[in-house]
């Protein structure tokens, strides 16, 4: 009897995202955990470009080409007799129409493939680009279908999981399929280890690390940059304007004193976690996943930046909150160390997911 496989439908690797790290790391982590019980095989698609759609984190056209060619690769393996009836399949992005086609073949061909999927965002989240651009209700129905096609669906935070179940009105009897498991970011933890003790820049760098998109409220960052420039408190860095390589980004991040967010949409927040690992003090609104993940020392009232108008009313409060942490950095180092441990132990590893996938 052939040893069963774990097939990974990988996200397209982009150096600007963690997906390049995932492309290398997830097969390694699963292979190590699986031992001799499974053969781990990563399925790639055809990637025609690494240029992302403006304001997004992937290319809206090319991601579908990638996923479609992944499916073709899987079917080629199936036709060659390389897929066993007890195989497991991990979709590293659950927003993937291939789940429908895999479930179609599984059910009609009498296979027992076990599907697992990682959710990042979707139309079920009104603050996500899919949530406010897609015409409803078809994407909600698709998302619900993919959820039910999988044995387990993984969410990095309880905030994200609870929002998904609530907004898609998932029946209580099916909610066992939703699992809070963090995400497998061991490579980020390892990569950031060298940056944790870099000397901070005397210009008191404040970094705004997000996509230049409406859900991140770049207008607030632009205004803060002007305010800080006028009062000479610090230098505000809007990274999307600098076209930095990953290493250049990490170098600048590690020299920063503050990493600031005013995001309206955040189900996890990789860039903020990278900042904490680099010894940078986070300044975050008390909302979204931030409310769950971060200590009180690092959160300002959500109302201060719930809109650009609200920020304009609370501009002085925001500036004072950031400035106090710039000038009293030592006061927050103990909390920063505690925060780093929380992120590593609860959100930057995915032990529950890995164990579920390799379980016989």
Judge whether residue 69 has pLDDT over 90. Answer: yes
**Above 90 in pLDDT, residue 360?**
no
Looking at the predicted structure, is the pLDDT value of residue 322 above 70? Answer: yes
- Asked if 275 and 167 sit in the same domain, the reply is no
Q: Give me the pLDDT at residue 49, please.
A: 73
Q: What is the pTM of this model?
A: 0.94
Statement to judge: residues 20 and 136 lie in one domain: yes
Task: State the pLDDT at residue 78.
Answer: 97
Confidence of residue 1 (pLDDT cuts 50, 70, 90): low
Alpha helices in the chain (DSSP H): 19-34, 62-79, 98-108, 129-133, 138-149, 158-167, 186-192, 218-231, 246-255, 270-277, 288-293, 308-327, 333-346, 351-358
Rounded to 5, what percent of the chain is helix, strand, coil? 50, 10, 35
For residue 338, the model assigns a pLDDT of 98
- Neighbouring C-beta atoms of residue 344, cutoff 10 Å: 18
Tens digit of pLDDT for each residue in 131-185? 989 999 999 999 999 999 999 999 999 999 999 999 999 999 999 999 999 999 9
Q: Are residue 139 and residue 251 in the same domain, yes or no?
A: no
pLDDT cut 90: percent of the chain above it: 79
Which among 313, 314, 205, 220 has a CA at the least distance from the CA of 254? 205
Q: Are residues 127 and 228 in the same domain?
A: no
Same domain as 203, residue 170: no
Same domain (yes/no): 176, 234: no
Contact 319, 326 (CB under 8 A): no
Instruction: Give the per-residue pLDDT at 56.
Output: 60
Q: Examine the domain organization and report whether 50 and 171 are in the same domain.
A: yes
The CATH number that applies at residue 168 is 3.40.50.2000
What pLDDT, on the 0 to 100 scale, is given for residue 57?
A: 64
What pLDDT score does 117 carry? 98
298 and 270 assigned to the same domain: yes
- Claim to verify: residue 23 and residue 163 sit in the same structural domain: yes
Residue 48 has pLDDT above 90, yes or no: no
Least confident of 13-22, 155-164, 291-300: 13-22
Q: What is the mean pLDDT of residues 185-213?
A: 88
Whether 197 and 252 share a structural domain: yes
For residues 200-206, average pLDDT? 86
Confidence check: pLDDT of 295 > 90: yes
Residues in the chain: 360
Measured distance CA(326)–CA(125) in Å, rounded: 34
pLDDT at 53: 64
Report, as an integer, the average pLDDT of 221-249. Answer: 86
Reported confidence tier of residue 197, pLDDT bands at 50, 70, 90: confident
Domain of 107 in residue numbering reads as: 5-184+349-358
Give the Cα separation of 318 and 320 in Å (integer).
5
Q: pLDDT higher for 159 or 247?
A: 159
pLDDT value of residue 154:
98
Mean pLDDT of the chain: 93
Q: How many domains does the chain have?
A: 2
Q: 214 with 161, same domain?
A: no
- Tell me: do 203 and 127 sit in the same domain: no
- Mean pLDDT for 38-51 is 89
pLDDT at 17 over 90: no
């Amino acid at each position: 009897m052939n040893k069963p496989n774990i097939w990974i439908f990988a996200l397209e690797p982009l150096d600007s995202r963690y997906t390049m790290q995932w492309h290398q790391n997830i097969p390694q982590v699963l292979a190590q955990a699986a031992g001799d019980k499974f053969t781990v095989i990563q399925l790639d698609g055809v990637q025609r470009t690494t240029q992302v759609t403006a304001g997004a984190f992937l290319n809206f056209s090319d991601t579908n080409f990638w996923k479609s060619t992944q499916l073709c690769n899987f079917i080629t393996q199936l036709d060659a007799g390389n897929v066993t009836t007890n195989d497991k399949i991990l979709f590293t992005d659950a927003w993937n129409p291939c789940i429908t086609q895999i479930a179609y073949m599984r059910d009609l061909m009498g296979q027992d493939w076990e599907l697992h999927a990682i959710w990042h965002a979707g139309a079920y989240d009104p603050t996500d680009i899919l949530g406010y651009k897609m015409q409803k209700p078809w994407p909600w129905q698709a998302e619900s279908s993919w959820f039910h096609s999988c044995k387990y669906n993984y969410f990095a935070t309880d905030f994200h999981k609870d929002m998904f179940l609530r907004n898609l009105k998932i029946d209580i009897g099916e909610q066992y399929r939703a699992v809070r498991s963090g995400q497998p970011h061991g490579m980020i933890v390892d990569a950031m280890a060298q940056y944790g003790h870099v000397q901070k820049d005397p210009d008191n760098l404040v970094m705004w690390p997000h996509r230049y998109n409406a859900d991140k409220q770049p207008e607030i960052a632009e205004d803060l940059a002007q305010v800080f420039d006028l009062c000479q408190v610090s230098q505000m860095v809007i990274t999307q304007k600098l076209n930095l390589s990953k290493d250049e980004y990490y170098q600048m991040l590690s020299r920063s004193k503050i990493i600031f967010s005013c995001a309206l949409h955040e189900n996890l927040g990789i860039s903020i976690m990278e900042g904490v690992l680099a010894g940078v003090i986070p300044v975050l609104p008390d909302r979204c996943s931030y409310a769950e993940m971060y200590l009180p020392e690092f959160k300002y009232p959500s109302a201060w930046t719930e809109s650009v108008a609200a920020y304009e009313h609370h501009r002085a409060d925001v500036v004072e909150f950031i400035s106090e942490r710039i000038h009293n950095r030592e006061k927050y180092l103990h909390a920063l160390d505690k925060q780093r441990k929380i992120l590593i132990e609860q959100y930057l590893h995915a032990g529950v997911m890995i164990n579920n996938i390799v379980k016989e």
